[in-house]
Amino acid sequence: MATHRIHHRTVTVRGLDVYYREAGPADAPVLLLLHGFPSSSHMFRDLIPLLADRYRVIAPDHIGFGRSATPDPAEFRYTFDELAGITEEFTDLLGLERYALYIQDYGAPIGLRLALARPERVTAIVTQNGNAYEEGLGAEAWAPVLALIEKRTPQTEAPVREIYSPEGIKWQYLHGVPDPTLVSPDAYEHDTARIARPGQAEIQLDLISDYGANFALYPAFHAYFRESRVPLLAVWGAHDEIFVPEGALAFRRDLPEAEIHLLPAGHFALETHADQVAALIRDFLARTLRHGNGPGSLLVADLPARVRGADQPMCGYP
């Protein structure tokens, strides 16, 4: 597999700097990677080199995250509509007329808004713990967020602030991981440092408060799936208690041919299973981008042991 350098670039959208990582041939099919909370394109640092020989891989940092601009909440509305609008303009600026989406956590409602706005652009979707169904919401993890969405008060804000505390961020990376020693501390310490910057506490609280707007769009997302029959691959950390496996299985309701794989991992599956995720993506996109939304599904059990890892069992749902 050829090695491709990762470029670190910045463009201006609506007067705001949007940082992004890019690798791969300029004329290759595009894969747009959209990160989740509380991370950034940093979460794709291991995945990008595994895909860049065959795809033009682009991973932006959302406004308020990573190395992108973090405008004052008094001057910028931190909502998912706003982040999706900026991401759409970002794709226009880069001339991305067709692309496959990789969506994780916050990246899901942002990316699926792009699909609603420009369905003709989306060639396929890879969702890694990127939820679109109520069944995917872990009851315990979501209880404080749902209380905040229902009524924002200092009392409902307090437990939500713990979610992006240093311990809360570390929990998201390590919880449900069979061998936590495989997770580099650099990952959660990187996120913790970015979230600790001035103004971040209110930025993240505003976005979490807006998450209810995503629930309101779930029926539209489901209709998009049914009408478009977009090829979809779910590679899901089975031990994630934020977006639980039922959320992965639910895609089959609207996309019967969706390919679903539950990995022995947590919320940030790439920290421990980047090789396996890359192998599944390469196989999936090679088939779907060449042949369209055809029948058939790859079972994890059919993968060579060198790909899936003899000591890393997975569950594949055909």
Each residue's pLDDT tens digit, 101-157: 999 999 999 999 999 999 999 999 999 999 999 999 999 999 999 999 999 999 999
Half-sphere exposure of 156 (CA within 13 A, CB side): 16
- Model pLDDT, residue 3: 56
On the question of pLDDT at 182 being above 70, the answer is: yes
Provide the pLDDT confidence category of residue 160 given band limits of 50, 70 and 90. very high
Average pLDDT over residues 252-262: 98
Report how far residue 311's alpha carbon sits from residue 43's, in angstroms, rounded to the nearest whole number: 24
The active-site residue, picked from 8, 267, 273, 291, is: 267
- Among residues 131, 128, 97, the alpha carbon closest in space to that of 114 is found at 97
* 3 state SS of 309: coil
What values do phi and psi take at 259, rounded to 5? -100, 120
Crossing angle of helices 107-117 and 80-93, in 10° steps, is 60
On the question of pLDDT at 299 being above 90, the answer is: no
Active site residue 35: no
Average pLDDT over residues 225-243: 97
> What pLDDT digit, counting tens, does each position of 111-127 carry?
999 999 999 999 999 99
- Model pLDDT, residue 311: 34
Q: What is the CA radius of gyration of the chain?
A: 18
Report how far residue 25's alpha carbon sits from residue 17's, in angstroms, rounded to the nearest whole number: 24
Mean pLDDT of the chain: 91
b/e burial code for range 3-27 (CB count within 10 A of at least 16 → b): ebebeeeeeebeeeebbbbbbbeee
Provide the pLDDT confidence category of residue 67 given band limits of 50, 70 and 90. very high
Provide the pLDDT confidence category of residue 62 given band limits of 50, 70 and 90. very high
On the question of pLDDT at 297 being above 70, the answer is: no
Average pLDDT over residues 37-59: 97
- Among residues 82, 58, 35, 309, the alpha carbon closest in space to that of 206 is found at 82
Average pLDDT over residues 239-261: 98
On the question of pLDDT at 304 being above 60, the answer is: no
First to last CA, the chain: 28
CB 119 within 8 A of CB 142: no
| Lowest pLDDT segment from 110-119, 257-266, 290-299 | 290-299
Higher pLDDT, 292 or 37: 37
| Lowest pLDDT segment from 13-22, 36-45, 169-178, 303-312 | 303-312
- Model pLDDT, residue 21: 98
CB 207 within 8 A of CB 80: yes
Report how far residue 138's alpha carbon sits from residue 54's, in angstroms, rounded to the nearest whole number: 35
Report how far residue 168's alpha carbon sits from residue 242's, in angstroms, rounded to the nearest whole number: 12
Q: How far is CA 163 from CA 7, 149, 206, 207, in A?
A: 32, 15, 13, 13
